[in-house]
């Protein structure tokens, strides 16, 4: 099957051709663990989780590496503000990150390396760059010399002057070029000892960019298939990764394909704490919004397009999940789980075709909606199980959803009216079994039907 993805490096859609037959290797920039993940962070995690699920379906072997950055200036500041150690902070936030991502049905990556556990690999890489005259020591810092790499700017497609003008570049006297970036920085006297590491250049800590290059090299080699991350990482982070990795390793092209997911805004404004529109995953979960509703929202828009979060978009996601879950009940889900070894892939092949076109989740969800409409009422049990398997493939199955949610938690009046019409039709056709099932299913969601006349039915919410 031909898989097409948009390669940011080539600026076009390309066929995915693996460097090692049937073994896909992917690296994605993970969280910097100084605070709980917001919904923008979650979008990236969910998008690459969907790529991971697709690749696991298509290839015999998939190695997905997503790092944890647990050494960074932001972490130092956050720990000081809370008057706790860096170790305490990073362990807590890593645990909360996993907790929030688990709620969104994000699978754990194959390998999840922590930066602090790979300091030796970073030092080795920096030493190699110094030996090859791609890095220099200045004022106790080690910096990468961007002028030593002719292809610097290959990803962002900008000249050095354009990159300086368009970015927040630290101007420092110890730099030969404003774009030169830090590979190793010296420690300050008041630094938490857990953030200070011994190196040939004195005590300090690595720069952010070198971390991903070191960890990806260790687990995927000098050349691998896909590197992913948010659009905001394209420059300077990913540009710098390419430069230092290609310079450190002979004949390295680093990642062959680069994937970047689009920005997330809130009511068409950039999400920020100053605007008080900063929304964490936990904020939504604490409002009893199901993780699969959040997941649906984050996947419904094509991953490369900007996604605007709003109450209306969240409401639509809730209605969509309710619509899907109206096809089956708790018993159906239990029976499906018991028949896990049986083939229920009737609908999955079609969505795989959509997803192979640059992860087209928009077309995939349109197809799922058409199936949900088609499968209303009395349906073949195998079709029902195939529909559940389809939702499971997308990470949209939550065994507790029926317990924790009901239609009246976000009432979809159109759906209820549709069910009443379907029931009236069943009664006219003397299909009493279907009519009773519709009434019973609605009642299980705390919606009670009252036949006030032969042709008129009203509904009420019961407490």
* Domain extents in the chain: 4-261, 266-405, 409-461
Q: Is there a common fold for 4-261 and 266-405?
A: no
What's the average model confidence in pLDDT over 395-418? 74
Whole-number percent of the chain with pLDDT over 70: 95
Q: What confidence tier does 161 reach under pLDDT thresholds 50, 70, 90? A: confident
The answer to whether 5 touches 16, Cβ cutoff 8 Å, is yes
Domain at 266-405, CATH class? mainly alpha
pLDDT at 409: 44
Using the predicted structure, report yes or no on whether residue 457 has a pLDDT greater than 70: yes
Under 8 Å between Cβ of 225 and 26: yes
Which of the pair, 413 or 197, is modelled with greater confidence?
Answer: 197
Strands 447-451 and 457-461: antiparallel
Confidence band, pLDDT 50/70/90 cuts, at residue 450: confident
Angstrom CA distances, 68 to 79, 88, 334, stand at 17, 15, 36
pLDDT at 223: 98
Is 3.40.50.1100 the CATH classification of the domain at 4-261? no
Contact between residue 328 and residue 376 where contact means Cβ atoms under 8 Å apart: no
Q: Indicate the pairing of strand 23-28 with strand 223-230.
A: parallel
User: According to the model, what pLDDT value does residue 408 have?
Assistant: 42
Quickly state the pLDDT bin for 39 (edges 50, 70, 90).
very high
CA 148/CA 14 separation, integer angstroms: 30
Q: What angle do CA 50, 54, 57 make, to 5 degrees?
A: 145
Instruction: Give, for 342, the enclosing helix (H) or strand (E).
Output: none
- Mean pLDDT, rounded, for 316-330: 92
Q: What is the pTM of this model?
A: 0.86
């Amino acid at each position: 099957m031909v898989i097409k993805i948009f390669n940011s490096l080539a600026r076009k859609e390309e066929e995915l051709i693996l460097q090692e037959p049937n073994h896909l290797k992917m690296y994605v920039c993970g969280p910097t663990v100084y605070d709980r993940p917001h919904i923008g962070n979650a979008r990236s995690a969910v998008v690459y989780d969907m790529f991971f699920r697709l690749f696991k379906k298509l290839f015999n072997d998939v190695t997905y590496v997503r790092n944890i950055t647990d050494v960074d200036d932001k972490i130092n500041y956050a720990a000081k503000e809370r008057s706790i150690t860096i170790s305490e902070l990073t362990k807590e936030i890593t645990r909360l990150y996993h907790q929030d991502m688990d709620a969104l049905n994000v699978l754990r990556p194959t390998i999840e390396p922590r930066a602090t556990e790979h300091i030796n690999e970073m030092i080795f890489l920096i030493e190699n760059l110094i030996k090859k005259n791609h890095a220099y020591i200045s004022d106790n810092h080690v910096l990468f010399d961007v002028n030593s790499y002719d292809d610097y700017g290959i990803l962002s497609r900008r000249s050095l002057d354009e990159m300086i003008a368009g970015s927040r570049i630290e101007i420092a006297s110890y730099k030969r070029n404003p774009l030169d970036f830090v590979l190793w920085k010296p420690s300050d006297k008041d630094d938490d000892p857990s953030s200070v590491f011994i190196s040939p250049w004195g005590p300090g800590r690595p720069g952010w960019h070198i971390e991903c290059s070191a960890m990806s090299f260790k687990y995927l080699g000098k050349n691998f298939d896909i590197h992913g991350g948010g659009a905001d990482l394209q420059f300077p982070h990913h540009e710098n990764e390419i430069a230092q990795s290609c310079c450190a390793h002979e004949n390295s092209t680093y990642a062959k394909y680069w994937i970047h997911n689009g920005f997330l805004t809130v009511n068409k404004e950039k999400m920020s704490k100053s605007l008080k529109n900063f929304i964490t995953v936990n904020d939504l979960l604490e409002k009893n919004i199901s993780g699969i509703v959040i997941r649906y929202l984050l996947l419904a828009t094509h991953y490369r397009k900007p996604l605007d979060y709003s109450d209306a978009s969240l409401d639509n996601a809730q209605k969509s999940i309710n619509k899907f879950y109206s096809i089956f009940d708790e018993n159906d889900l239990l029976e499906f789980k018991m028949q896990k070894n049986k083939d229920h892939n009737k609908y999955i092949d079609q969505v795989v075709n959509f997803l192979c076109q640059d992860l087209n989740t928009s077309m995939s969800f349109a197809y799922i909606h058409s199936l949900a409409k088609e499968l209303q009422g009395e349906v073949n049990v195998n079709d029902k199980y195939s529909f559940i398997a389809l939702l499971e493939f997308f990470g949209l199955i939550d065994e507790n959803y029926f317990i924790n949610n009901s239609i009246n938690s976000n009432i979809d009046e159109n759906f209820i009216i549709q069910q009443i019409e379907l029931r009236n039709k069943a009664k006219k056709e003397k299909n009493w079994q279907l009519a009773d099932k519709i009434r019973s299913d609605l009642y299980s969601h705390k919606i009670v039907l009252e036949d006030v006349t032969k042709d008129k039915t009203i509904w009420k919410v019961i407490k």
